[in-house]
Structure 1
Amino acid sequence: MNKLNWVEFDECTYSIYKKCKNKRFEGVYGFPRGGLCLAVALSHLLGLPLLDQPRKNSLIVDDIYDTGHTLEKIKNIKGSETHVWISKKQPTWWNSYKYIKDNEWIVFPWESLNSADKDRDLYYKSRS
């Protein structure tokens, strides 16, 4: 397992901020649960409202692109731009702060290392 930390989180959010600071978004949407942390931080950095749903002309963020199940639903929203912290697939239409080629389970700073095995099992069960 790969446990990420809050310093890495700050580096990721600042990187996304730099790429988006001169763009005109209506707000920031983050997928529950992992995307919310990124969305709140970017909402503050960019001075944009936090959105309750993805919509056109918005910045959409999530913690990870793993199977694509979550993000594929929003890929055609007009004027939106999507960023993830970690991508396990080579980014095509989305942006990724970090691309990893292995299938190692990622534990984000807001997650418990003690429940990581359970979280992983529940995640893969929900995708099958």
Structure 2
Amino acid sequence: MHQLTWSQFDWAVEAITARYASHSFTGVYGVPRGGVCLAVALSHSLDLLWLTEPKQGCLVVDDVYETGQTLGSIREQVDATFVVWMSKLPPEWWIAATTISPDEWLVFPWENVDLAVEDEARYRASRSMTL
């Protein structure tokens, strides 16, 4: 289990801001739940509108890319730029501030560590039953 810190979050916001400071976006949309924190921080940092839904030409952000199902479905709806804080796969059509092992269980700074331990145990148990 990898517990992320607010300092690491701030670094990711700074890295994404540096990359997109000169870009023009219609706003920034964060995928609920984890992407919302990143979207709010980036909306302030990049001086963009915070969007409650994805729009054409916006910056779509999420906390983690695991399977691609979430961002993939949004990608089918809008032409946007996609960025995640942590990616468990090498980025293809999305950008990642950090790429990590797909086996790594992440605990984000806004999450409850005790509940995350339970979530990981349930997740791993569900995966072992399907094999």
TM-score normalised by L of structure 1: 0.90
**Residues 1:66 and 2:53 aligned together:** no
Q: How does 1:1-128 map to 2 (within 5 A)?
A: 1-76=1-76, 77-78=78-79, 80-120=80-120, 121=122
Is this contact kept in 2: 1:75–1:93, CA < 8 A?
no
Q: Per residue, is there more helix in 1 or in 2?
A: 2
Where structure 1 has 5 or more consecutive residues not aligned to the other structure, the ranges are none
Superposed CA offset, 1:11-64 (max 9, x none): 000100011110010100001110000000000011111001111110010000
TM-score normalised by L of structure 2: 0.88
Shift of 1:102: 3.8
How many residue pairs get aligned? The number is 125
Where structure 2 has 5 or more consecutive residues not aligned to the other structure, the ranges are none
Larger CA Rg, structure 1 vs 2: 2
What is the identity percentage for the equivalent residue pairs of Structure 1 and Structure 2?
43
Q: Distance in 2 between matches of 1:74 and 1:113?
A: 29
Q: CA RMSD in A?
A: 1.8
Q: Distance in 1 between matches of 2:62 and 2:123?
A: 18
Paired AA for residue 66 in structure 2: D
Superposed CA offset, 1:81-117 (max 9, x none): 1110110011100000111124121000000111003
Paired AA for residue 54 in structure 2: P
Runs of 4+ in 1 over 4 A off after TM superposition: 122-125
